[in-house]
Structure 1
Amino acid sequence: MKRVIVIGAGASGLVAAYFAAKRGNEVIVIEKNEKCGKKIYITGKGRCNITNDILPEDFLSNVVTNPKFLTGAVYSFPPQKLMRFLEDGGLRLKTERGGRVFPLSDKASDVTKCLENYCKNAGVCFHFNEQVQEICVLQSTMSDVITDKARYACDACIVCTGGLSYPGTGSTGDGYAFAKQLGHTVVPVTAALCGINLKDTDTAPLQGLSLKNVSVSAKRGGKEVGSFFGEMLFTHFGISGPCVLSLSSLINRFPMSEIEIFIDLKPALDAQTLDKRILRDFEKYKNKMLIHALDELLPKSLVPVVVARSGILPSTPVNTVTKAQRGHLLETIKRFTLRPSSLRGIRESIVTAGGVDVREIHPKTMESRLVKGLYFCGEVLDVDAFTGGYNLQIAFSTGYAAGNNV
C-alpha cells in the first residue's frame, strides 16, 4: 500500500482520489476550501455540463491545446465510461442539444455529492481548510507534502489545483508554483473561453442584443483563425456568448491588434440570395426611408448601426437606393466587422490556457518525467478545449489516468 496525497478536491482530484483508493492505496485529499468541488458548483451556470456524449476521436477535435497528449487519457476514460460511472453512483443524467450532458436534477451539487460519496466509500480521507505550502522531493522522488497544519510523508502526490480562472473557487495558481519549484516548465497562462473587449464605439447601443444562427469568425493577417456558428451576445464591454467564447480560445495567444472579427448576420443566405431578399423588402417598403425598411431582416437595434456602416444616409428613400449602395449594405450584413482590443481578464474566463508543459508529463499516466511519484491533472496542465463539457471531461480523464496508475 502506498500513501497518496491529492492536492485539490475538484473534478480531477476527486476522480484521481477514488481510483487511487480503489487500487488499495491510502489516499488523503487536501483541500484549502471548506468543501469539495467548489468550481463544479458554478459550472454550466450551476447546472454542470459534465461532459459531451461524443466519440473519443470527435472529442479530441474539440480540444484546442495539445489534443495529441490527451489521446490516451480520453480513450481510456471517454465520455461514455464517465457517464456509466456517474450513473452507477446514483447520478441520473440527461443529454441536451449538441451532446451536452447534465445531471437530470439540473443541480451541479449532485455531481459533487456523487464523486464525494465514491471517495468516502473507497476510504479516501478529506482534510478541508488546509493549505499546501510545499511539495518535497528527495533524489527526484516524492517524499513529503507540507501544509499550514502538518507534514505528510507520501509515496505519490497528485496535483489537481486548477488554473487561475474564478479564483474565488480556490483556483489561484498554486499548482504552477509547485511545478516551477520542482523544475517543471510552465507555459505562460492566459484567458480561454471568455468575452472579448472591443475598440468599436458604435456597438454601444447594441448592449444586451442576443443574436442566434450567426457565423462569427476571426482573421489574422488575412488568414482565418477560426469560425463558429450559433449564438453570440453584445455586452457593455464588447461581445460574449458561445461562439465568442470558443473563438477567444483560438485568438488568445495573438496580439489583438492583429485580429479582426467578422459576423455574418445572415449565414444561411449567400450574397445573391440575400440581395434578392433585400430587394423584396425594398419593394414592400418602397415609400419609406431606409432606416425603417430593414426591421424584418435585422433586429431593430442593429438596423441603425448597419445602415451607418453601409455609408447610406438613414433618411434615404428606399426607392432611390442605388445598386452600388445596396452592395455596401449587403457587404455590411455579411461582414459586420469588429476590432478587438483585448480579452476579458483571466479571472472571468471559464478556463485557463497554458500551464504545466505536457512534454514533461507521461501522457498515459500523468506522472512527471522529472519527479517519480509526482502527477499533474486537469486545468493545471497546458490543455484546454471549447465549451460543451469538454474541459470537465479532460479533468475527469486525466484524473482517472493518474489515480489508476499511481
Structure 2
Amino acid sequence: MKQILVIGAGPAGMMAAIRAAENGAEVTLLEKMKRPGRKMMITGKGRCNITNAADVPEIIRNIHGNGAFLNSSMRAFDNRDVMDFFVEQGVPVKVERGNRVFPVSDKAQDVVDAMVHRLHELGVRIELEMPVTDILLQEGRVAGVRTKSGAHYKADAVILAVGGASYPGTGSTGDGYAMAKKLSHTIVPLQPSLVPLETEEEWVKDVQGLSLRNVRATLLADGGKVQEMFGEMMFTHFGVTGPIILSMSRQAAKCLADGKFVELELNLKPALTPEKLDARVQRDFEQYIRKSLKNGLMDLLPHKLIEPVLDCAYLDPEKPVHQVTAEERHRLVETLQHLTLTITKTRPLAEAIVTAGGVSVREINPKTMESKLVPGLYFAGEVVDVDAYTGGYNLQAAFSMGNAAGCWSVWNDD
C-alpha cells in the first residue's frame, strides 16, 4: 500500500487526500492550523462559491493566470464532477447569477464538513497543528517530510497543497514557496490577485460603502486601455473594491509593478450613448429647473455621489439648474461616463483573496501535477502559479489539481 503525505488541508489538499485514499493509498494529511479548510470558510462571503456552472472552455478562459495549464486536470475532474461530489456527500448545490455555484444552505461550513467527513470515512489520518518545514529526498526522489517539531514522516509521494500568501490568518503564509525553492523549483514572483485598489482621490472616503451596479470600468495604464469590465463595484475608505475591481486587480498590480501610471475610468451610465445621456440630463433639468444643481441630479445619481461628480466636472453644486450652460452640461455628461480615479497601489498581498505567482507551471506535469524536477513530489492549489477571476473559478482549479495529484500520486510507478 502506497504511503501518501498531503501538506495542507485546504480545498486542493483535502481533495487530493480523498482521491489518494479512494485509490487505495494510506494517506496522512498534515495541516498547520487547528482546523481544516480555514480559508474555504471565508470564500464567497462565508457561503463558499465552490465552482462555476459554465462550460469548461469558459472556465479556463476565466483562469487568467495560466488557465491552459489546467486543460488536462479540469477535463478529468470538471465542474459537473465537483457538483456531483458534493451532492453525493449530502451537500445539495444551486446555481446563481453569473453561473456561480453555492451550497443550497449558503454555509461554507457545510462544504468543509462534507470534505472532512469523507476524509474520516476513508480512514485518512489528519494531523492538525503540524507545520511542515522540509520535504525530504532520498536518491533524488521524495522520501518524506520533516515538521517544525522535528518529527519525520516517511512517504512514497508528497503532495504540496499549502496555499498561497494571502489571508495569512487562515494558514496561507507562503511556506510552500520556500519548500519548493529548496528543491530547485522556480517561484514566479508573487502579486496580489482579487484584491481591492487604493486611490489617490480623497473623495472616495465620503462615499465609502456605496455600491454601484451596472457600471463599466476601464483600467488604463499610461493612458492606454488595459482591461474593461461591466458589473458591480463598491467604494471604500481607501479606494474601490467589488467584483469587477477584484477581477481587474491582477492587471492593475502588474502595471503598477512595471512603474506605469494607472487609472480607473468609470462609466456610471454605460447603457446610454453620450447623446441619449445628454437628453436625459436635459429632461431632469427641465423637471428641476428651480432647484440647485446638486438637487437636480437626485434621480440620476445616488445622493452620496452627486457632489463628487459635480466637483470632478468643475461645477458648483449650489448653482441654479436654469443657469447651467450647454458647455457645463456637456462637461457633466462627460464626467458621468468618464469618472476617473488614480490607482496608487493595491491593498497588501495579505488582504488578497488569491495569490498570483508561485511554483512555475513549466516545472509541473499538467496531467499528473507531478514535479518535472523531483519524482514523487506533486503540487495542487494556490501554491502553483495559477489564478482566476472571482466566480468559483479558483476553487474549481484547486479541486481539479487536487484530484489529479491525489490520483496520480497513487497510480504513478516512477
Which TM-score band (shorter chain)? over 0.9
What secondary structure is seen at the aligned counterpart in 2 of 1:123?
Answer: coil
Report what 1:169 is aligned to.
Answer: 170
Query: Does residue 377 in structure 1 map to residue 380 in structure 2?
Result: yes
Report what 2:70 is aligned to.
Answer: 70
Instruction: Kindly provide the amino acid, as one letter, of the partner of residue 281 in structure 1.
Output: D
Report what 2:145 is aligned to.
Answer: 145
What's the CA shift string for 1:48-106, capped at 9, x where partnerless? 11111111001011111001111111111111111011111111111111111111111
Query: Does residue 394 in structure 1 map to residue 397 in structure 2?
Result: yes
Report what 1:233 is aligned to.
Answer: 234
User: Which deviates further from its counterpart, 147-156 or 44-53?
Assistant: 147-156
What secondary structure is seen at the aligned counterpart in 2 of 1:253?
Answer: helix
Equivalent residues, number: 406
Query: Does residue 284 in structure 1 map to residue 260 in structure 2?
Result: no
What secondary structure is seen at the aligned counterpart in 1 of 2:246?
Answer: helix
Instruction: Kindly provide the amino acid, as one letter, of the partner of residue 185 in structure 2.
Output: H
Report what 2:7 is aligned to.
Answer: 7
Provide structure 2 residue ranges, at least 5 long, that are not aligned to the other structure: 410-414
Report what 1:79 is aligned to.
Answer: 79
Instruction: Kindly provide the amino acid, as one letter, of the partner of residue 272 in structure 1.
Output: E
The answer as to whether partners of 2:204 and 2:238 remain within 8 angstroms in 1 is no
Report what 2:128 is aligned to.
Answer: 128
Query: Does residue 157 in structure 1 map to residue 158 in structure 2?
Result: yes
Q: In the TM superposition, what is the alpha-carbon distance from 1:149 to its structure 2 partner?
A: 5.1
Q: In the TM superposition, what is the alpha-carbon distance from 1:257 to its structure 2 partner?
A: 4.5
Summarize the Cα distance change of 1:172–1:211 in structure 2 as closer, same or farther, 3 Å threshold: same
Query: Does residue 207 in structure 1 map to residue 215 in structure 2?
Result: no
The answer as to whether partners of 2:222 and 2:260 remain within 8 angstroms in 1 is no
Report what 2:412 is aligned to.
Answer: none
TM-score normalised to structure 1 length: 0.97
Summarize the Cα distance change of 1:338–1:388 in structure 2 as closer, same or farther, 3 Å threshold: same
Report what 1:33 is aligned to.
Answer: 33
Report what 2:92 is aligned to.
Answer: 92
Instruction: Kindly provide the amino acid, as one letter, of the partner of residue 55 in structure 1.
Output: D
Report what 1:19 is aligned to.
Answer: 19
Identify the match of residue 273 of structure 1 among 255, 273, 276.
276
For 1:296-335, what aligned pairs fall within 5 Å after superposition?
Answer: 296-335=299-338
Structure 2: distance between partners of 1:360 and 1:191:
22
The answer as to whether partners of 1:162 and 1:380 remain within 8 angstroms in 2 is yes
The answer as to whether partners of 2:221 and 2:262 remain within 8 angstroms in 1 is yes
Query: Does residue 194 in structure 1 map to residue 179 in structure 2?
Result: no
What's the CA shift string for 1:99-135, capped at 9, x where partnerless? 1111111111111111122222222111111121211
Query: Does residue 362 in structure 1 map to residue 365 in structure 2?
Result: yes
Q: In the TM superposition, what is the alpha-carbon distance from 1:274 to its structure 2 partner?
A: 0.2
What secondary structure is seen at the aligned counterpart in 1 of 2:264?
Answer: strand
Instruction: Kindly provide the amino acid, as one letter, of the partner of residue 15 in structure 1.
Output: M
The answer as to whether partners of 2:14 and 2:115 remain within 8 angstroms in 1 is yes
Q: In the TM superposition, what is the alpha-carbon distance from 1:43 to its structure 2 partner?
A: 1.2
Structure 2: distance between partners of 1:54 and 1:9:
27
Structure 2: distance between partners of 1:312 and 1:96:
42
Q: In the TM superposition, what is the alpha-carbon distance from 1:13 to its structure 2 partner?
A: 0.5
TM-score normalised to structure 2 length: 0.96
What secondary structure is seen at the aligned counterpart in 2 of 1:378?
Answer: coil
Summarize the Cα distance change of 1:314–1:35 in structure 2 as closer, same or farther, 3 Å threshold: closer
What secondary structure is seen at the aligned counterpart in 2 of 1:15?
Answer: helix
Structure 1: distance between partners of 2:393 and 2:107:
19
Instruction: Kindly provide the amino acid, as one letter, of the partner of residue 371 in structure 1.
Output: V
The answer as to whether partners of 1:140 and 1:370 remain within 8 angstroms in 2 is no
Ranges of 4+ aligned residues in structure 1 off by more than 6 Å: none
Report what 1:107 is aligned to.
Answer: 107
Instruction: Kindly provide the amino acid, as one letter, of the partner of residue 202 in structure 2.
Output: T
The answer as to whether partners of 2:369 and 2:404 remain within 8 angstroms in 1 is yes
Structure 1: distance between partners of 2:251 and 2:71:
20
Instruction: Kindly provide the amino acid, as one letter, of the partner of residue 351 in structure 1.
Output: V
Instruction: Kindly provide the amino acid, as one letter, of the partner of residue 291 in structure 1.
Output: K
Kindly report the root-mean-square deviation, in angstroms, between the aligned alpha carbons of the 2 structures. 1.2
Instruction: Kindly provide the amino acid, as one letter, of the partner of residue 326 in structure 1.
Output: R
Structure 2: distance between partners of 1:2 and 1:185:
28
Report what 2:267 is aligned to.
Answer: 264
The answer as to whether partners of 1:355 and 1:381 remain within 8 angstroms in 2 is yes
The answer as to whether partners of 1:144 and 1:151 remain within 8 angstroms in 2 is yes
Instruction: Kindly provide the amino acid, as one letter, of the partner of residue 201 in structure 2.
Output: D
What secondary structure is seen at the aligned counterpart in 2 of 1:367?
Answer: coil
Instruction: Kindly provide the amino acid, as one letter, of the partner of residue 126 in structure 1.
Output: I
Instruction: Kindly provide the amino acid, as one letter, of the partner of residue 249 in structure 1.
Output: R
Q: In the TM superposition, what is the alpha-carbon distance from 1:223 to its structure 2 partner?
A: 2.6
Report what 1:250 is aligned to.
Answer: 251
Structure 2: distance between partners of 1:392 and 1:358:
18
